[in-house]
Copies of this chain bind each other. A is one copy, B any other.
Amino acid sequence: MGEFELIRHFFAAAPCAQGGNGVALGIGDDCALLELPAGEQLAVSTDTLVAGVHFPAVCDPSLLGQRSLAVAASDLAAMGATAIGFTLALTLPEVSADWLQAYTQGLQRMAHRCRMSLIGGDTTRGPLSITVTVFGRVPAGQALRRDGARPGDLLCVGGNLGNAAGALPLVLGERQAPAEQAQALLAQYWSPMPQLTLGELLRGHATAALDVSDGLLADCGHIARASGVALEVNQHQVPVSTELEAFLGRDAAVHAALTGGDDYVLAFTIPAAQHQALQLPGFIHVHVIGRVLDGQGVTLRDRQGRDITPTQRGYQHFRETP
């Protein structure tokens, strides 16, 4: 099967809206065409996943399909944007109809959950790698940026942290866990649900936001630096799942929650009054885990208020090289 046939066959079945949800022209021409309602801005983000670096080279392509879109769509949630669509640049070492079918199914499942359409892309031969570029829309001036945190704001997260990091030894086949623990942790790794609803509800309330992808402390550092403030995290308030605690024990679970990446839960700062006013649906659990202060940097405190900040902050892809 030639390249063009390949693309047509597998991605023709994808949910490529024509004329709906801001997509004026989808797959098949030199460019896709998007439309924006008056007074809205387009949010854009790009994420690459490389086999052997961001996921195991041998894995379930259906799960990979879910995850590759979810991690990119999470950046839209972090900006408070409403998801529209995405382009997919897929580099494959060889063409396998089975692989493509399973991958596309997973991709479609996540696209459906996020209400996004595949609007274009590129398919090339090479080492397995996936770059997804996502598009959303947000009323002008209401995007949740990283630079708006102010002293006095509360620091919050949108759910349990550390599950994806806890899942890693399971993903890599290095450890086993009881079925219910494995299921909860692996779900967070393979199909993190982008918090798009939470992001939209935070518009006009939160002062800064991002999605936790590098690890909570590292990501709090991004907000602190961009906003020119200090962030204080209370370790005992950082939420971890019962499954993670059962699997790793309390200390290691908390460590995973503080430094592990890939959870794609929102972290945000918000004035206390706005926090009170938030009306969230039952499936969203927001936890206050600290506060914003004058100063700079991130401080981790224990239940007694002692500074227990670790020195290592999150995963950096190129850490080892000079």
Residues of the B chain whose Cβ atoms lie less than 8 Å from the Cβ of A43: 31-33
Residues of the B chain whose Cβ atoms lie less than 8 Å from the Cβ of A286: none
The verdict on A35 contacting chain B, using a C-beta distance below 8 Å, is yes
Is there contact, CB below 8 Å, between A52 and B126? yes
Contact residue among B78, B127, B226 (Cβ-Cβ distance under 8 Å from A129): B127
Closest to A50 in B: B126
Q: Quick check: which of A2-10, A149-157, A168-176, A251-259 contacts chain B, the rest being far away?
A: A2-10
Is there contact, CB below 8 Å, between A46 and B79? no
A10, B202: Cα distance in complex, Å:
33
Residues of the B chain whose Cβ atoms lie less than 8 Å from the Cβ of A95: 318, 321
Copies of this subunit: 2
Is there contact, CB below 8 Å, between B145 and A48? no
A42, B40: Cα distance in complex, Å:
13
Q: Quick check: which of A59-67, A133-141, A302-310 contacts chain B, the rest being far away?
A: A133-141
The verdict on A112 contacting chain B, using a C-beta distance below 8 Å, is no
Is there contact, CB below 8 Å, between A45 and B32? yes
Contact residue among B29, B35, B53, B78 (Cβ-Cβ distance under 8 Å from A124): B53
State the interface size on chain A (CB cutoff 8 A).
Answer: 72
The verdict on A248 contacting chain B, using a C-beta distance below 8 Å, is no
A1 to chain B, nearest CB (A): 7
Q: Quick check: which of A115-123, A158-166, A274-282 contacts chain B, the rest being far away?
A: A115-123
Is there contact, CB below 8 Å, between B145 and A25? yes
Contact residue among B34, B76, B81, B319 (Cβ-Cβ distance under 8 Å from A44): B34
Give me 5 A-to-B residue pairs in the complex whose CB atoms sit less than 8 angstroms apart, sorted by A's number. A3-B316, A29-B146, A30-B209, A31-B45, A46-B87
A positions within 8 Å CB-CB of B: 1-4, 6, 24-25, 28-36, 38, 41-54, 75-76, 78-79, 81, 87-89, 91, 94-95, 119-127, 129, 131, 133, 135-136, 138, 140, 143, 145-147, 209-211, 226, 316-319, 321-322
